[in-house]
């Protein structure tokens, strides 16, 4: 007789909870990241409702920070839109990668998790799916991971917006922003094309940093994409 495994006994609710729990270590870096956004938005005289609204509607940390800085600098609207578009293009790749695992979700549920998609939720979920390709209710694990980060981001943003002036500068919360992305990028550097793309983007970002309106970020992203594609094509 074959005994039932934990995976066979899983339900959508328990799998959703597992996704929540899996994100807990990551949230330690998300809290200061979101708080920094709230503090930055208020310090740059962005109205409270706009700062909170951007966090709910856009829900993309790096893009929010860049957009806030560009608005404060008086950048043209097309530069703001282009910058946020380039920054968020990665979500198209995330979506294509995660879509095959969401078959049990209706279009409505897929739309909800698509809105809540984030770097951290994607990285955690796709790692889990690769480790357990036959696990049931994988879409619910992803939903739990997405919700955990979304809820944490909204609450932490509100903390930054309403308590920003009372947070001591000595806390230096901004250290969490690069650390959060480094924790996601480093494990993804599993082959030569990825490593070359990251290296090229990093070097370009430093060199192009003096460009106005954070255009250096766009140049670095495009450079990394081109180098990665070329390296991958040559590796085949």
Q: Alpha helix (H) ranges present in the chain? A: 12-43, 48-57, 61-73, 77-88, 90-98, 107-115, 119-131, 138-163, 176-188, 192-207, 215-235
Sign of torsion over alpha carbons 205, 209, 214, 219: negative
Full-model pTM: 0.74
Sign of torsion over alpha carbons 112, 31, 189, 234: positive
Same domain assignment for residues 95 and 204: no
Q: Is the model more confident about 5 or about 176?
A: 176
Determine, yes or no, domain membership for 223.
yes
CA gyration radius for the chain?
19
Q: Is the model more confident about 28 or about 125?
A: 125
- The band of 61, judged by pLDDT with boundaries at 50, 70 and 90, is confident
Same domain assignment for residues 39 and 149: yes
Domain that holds residue 218: 189-236
Q: Using the 3D structure, point to which of 141, 173, 205 is the last residue of a domain.
A: 173
- The band of 232, judged by pLDDT with boundaries at 50, 70 and 90, is confident
Same domain assignment for residues 160 and 194: no
Residues 6+ apart with CB under 8 A from 54: 41, 46, 64, 67, 68
**Structural domains counted in the chain:** 2
The pLDDT mean for the chain works out to 84
Determine, yes or no, domain membership for 60.
yes
Same domain assignment for residues 126 and 210: no
Same domain assignment for residues 202 and 93: no
> Three-state SS for 175?
helix
Same domain assignment for residues 202 and 226: yes
Residue 186: its pLDDT value, please?
Answer: 66
């Amino acid at each position: 007789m074959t005994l039932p495994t934990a995976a066979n006994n899983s339900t959508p609710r328990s799998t959703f909870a597992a996704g929540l729990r899996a994100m807990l270590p990551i949230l330690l870096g998300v809290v200061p990241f979101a708080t920094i956004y709230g503090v930055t938005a208020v310090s740059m005289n962005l109205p409270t409702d706009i700062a909170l609204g951007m966090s709910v509607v856009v829900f993309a940390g790096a893009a929010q920070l860049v957009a806030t800085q560009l608005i404060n600098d008086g950048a043209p609207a097309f530069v703001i839109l282009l910058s946020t578009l380039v920054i968020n293009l990665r979500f198209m790749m995330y979506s294509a990668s995660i879509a095959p695992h969401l078959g049990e979700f209706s279009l409505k549920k897929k739309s909800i998790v698509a809105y809540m998609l984030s770097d951290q939720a994607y990285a955690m979920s796709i790692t889990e799916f690769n480790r357990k390709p036959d696990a049931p209710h994988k879409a619910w694990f992803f939903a739990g991971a997405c919700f955990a980060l979304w809820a944490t981001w909204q609450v932490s943003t509100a903390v930054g917006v309403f308590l920003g002036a009372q947070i001591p500068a000595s806390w230096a919360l901004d250290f969490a922003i690069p650390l959060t992305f480094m924790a996601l990028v480093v494990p993804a550097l599993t082959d030569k094309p990825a490593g070359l793309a990251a290296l090229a983007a990093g070097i370009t970002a430093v060199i192009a940093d003096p460009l106005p309106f954070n255009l250096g970020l766009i140049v670095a992203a495009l450079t990394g994409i081109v180098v990665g594609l070329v390296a991958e094509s040559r590796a085949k």
